[in-house]
Structure 1
Amino acid sequence: DAGLRASDITEVILVGGQTRMPKVQQAVAEFFGKEPRKDVNPDEAVALGAAIQGGVLAGDVKDVLLLDVTPLSLGIETLGGVFTKIIEKNTTIPTKASQVFSTAEDNQSAVTVHVLQGEREQARYNKSLAKFDLSGIEPAPRGLPQVEVSFDIDANGILHVSAKDKKTNKEQKVEIKAGSGLSDDEIQRMVADAEANREEDKKFHELVQARNQADGLIHATRSAITEHGSKVGGDVIGKVESALADLETAMKGDDKGQIEAKTKALEEAGQSLYAAAAAGEQQPSGNAGGAHASSASSDDV
């Protein structure tokens, strides 16, 4: 997580009574390529550390800086059930981070912010911390509204999450008390679970990306039909509509390759639509092409 190699570590200190075991010391030496220090009592180190932390929290010790970290990543659920991380695990606190998101549907007036903690790509496998709505978003085509989601962890470990519509400045906030309710064993289990399911999560992420790309293309193509449909012949529109239906059917399944293939087919059909529309616009009004374009226009609402 720190982006360091074992050879980058200059000193190794063992803490805790079990580190007195020769096998443990041997394993550490082999991993780091250097012997751990022997001048620090592993039992006393734990006791002294606890005492110093207690003194800092009580306000009696002021000249020692204690750096705590987030044990698991924090983020929100985004389109397709993806867990989008905003603060990565092992980030030193206090810390702040934010990302800008948008709407998934046209004229969407509210968004739900689902705050999660964990390491899995699939949101449903992470721990839910809070859920709240930001409403009052002005009607607009999807992708245009900008909603800034901010995470702020203070020195006491309290998480403050806010969602703000950057156009209207409307904002909703939630405060999550320090401590996720997870034990050290549960945290380690979640980290191990994410590692064990790395390949599954990678495939899930790729499938969601394919679906989202296909969904965006479908939306853009329908808008193109509305805008240019009156300028092209029915055979072109028919091919585009057929490709649209095929892609929508493919999106209901879990075959990424099929979705990508149908997406490419719709892209090609869409290019034909734009080419036909451009050709129709360039035809002089007095020739047969112009008469045909005029006739096509009168048939559309």
Structure 2
Amino acid sequence: MIKDSIMLGMSYLDGIPPAPRGVPQIAVTLDIDANGILNNGASDKSTGKCNQIIITDRKGWLLAEIDHMVQEAMKPRGDDEANKTKVEAKDGPEHYGFAMCHTLTSDCSRRFSKPARSTSLPCGRA
């Protein structure tokens, strides 16, 4: 998980237009070549904007040390999967709730009568 990560570099992908939660689709790619150089790219699927960062072996790690770190990182994989399942179980209903609130408060909600719209107000306050 993120708490076990080591910061190697930073890249920003800005200029993404505002959109409801969960709508932007960002594709992230990571590639390590034979020389231990990490190519990291991110692109917004809707606008096509992309950003890339290349991280070289600045610390002078030997390939054996990198292999050891990869093996160590693979050990808690079961715990990571359990944490991922918990996060998805929490985020799924939360995303659904945001989508429902957005639908009820969007322009299409004008089709409903005023009493029906007033029942959707508590949703925005929750």
TM class by shorter-chain length?
0.5 to 0.7
CA 1:215 to 1:178, structure 2 compared with 1: closer, same or farther past 3 Å?
Answer: same
How far did 1:235 drift? Answer: 9.6
Specify the alignment match of 1:241 in structure 2: 122
Task: Choose between structure 1 and 2 for higher RCO, CA contacts under 8 A separated by at least 6 residues.
Answer: 2
> Pairwise mapping of residues 35-114 of structure 1 onto structure 2 (< 5 A)?
none
Give distance in 1, aligned partners of 2:25 and 2:89. Answer: 23
CA 1:191 to 1:132, structure 2 compared with 1: closer, same or farther past 3 Å?
Answer: same
Specify the alignment match of 1:191 in structure 2: 74
Give distance in 2, aligned partners of 1:217 and 1:141. Answer: 12
**Which residues of structure 2 form unaligned runs of 5+?**
none
CA 1:216 to 1:133, structure 2 compared with 1: closer, same or farther past 3 Å?
Answer: same
Q: Identity over the aligned pairs, expressed in percent?
A: 30
Specify the alignment match of 2:15 in structure 1: 136
Is this contact kept in 1: 2:41–2:53, CA < 8 A? yes
- Post-superposition Cα deviations, 1:150-197, rounded to whole Å, max 9, x if no partner, equal 2233332211111122343322211111487483655544433x15xx
Specify the alignment match of 2:96 in structure 1: 217
Q: Would you say how many aligned residue pairs link Structure 1 and Structure 2?
A: 118
- Post-superposition Cα deviations, 1:41-67, rounded to whole Å, max 9, x if no partner, equal xxxxxxxxxxxxxxxxxxxxxxxxxxx
Give distance in 2, aligned partners of 1:179 and 1:123. Answer: 22
The code of the aligned residue for 2:122 comes to E
Specify the alignment match of 1:75 in structure 2: none
Give distance in 2, aligned partners of 1:235 and 1:175. Answer: 51
TM-score normalised by the chain length of structure 1: 0.32
2:24 to 141, 145, 166: 145
> Pairwise mapping of residues 3-22 of structure 1 onto structure 2 (< 5 A)?
none
Give distance in 2, aligned partners of 1:137 and 1:228. Answer: 27
The code of the aligned residue for 1:130 comes to G
Is this contact kept in 1: 2:104–2:117, CA < 8 A? no
CA 1:178 to 1:167, structure 2 compared with 1: closer, same or farther past 3 Å?
Answer: same
**Which residues of structure 1 form unaligned runs of 5+?**
1-121, 246-301
The code of the aligned residue for 2:91 comes to N
Confirm or deny that 1:228 pairs with 2:109: yes
The code of the aligned residue for 2:119 comes to I
- Post-superposition Cα deviations, 1:257-278, rounded to whole Å, max 9, x if no partner, equal xxxxxxxxxxxxxxxxxxxxxx
Is this contact kept in 2: 1:146–1:165, CA < 8 A? yes
TM-score normalised by the chain length of structure 2: 0.66
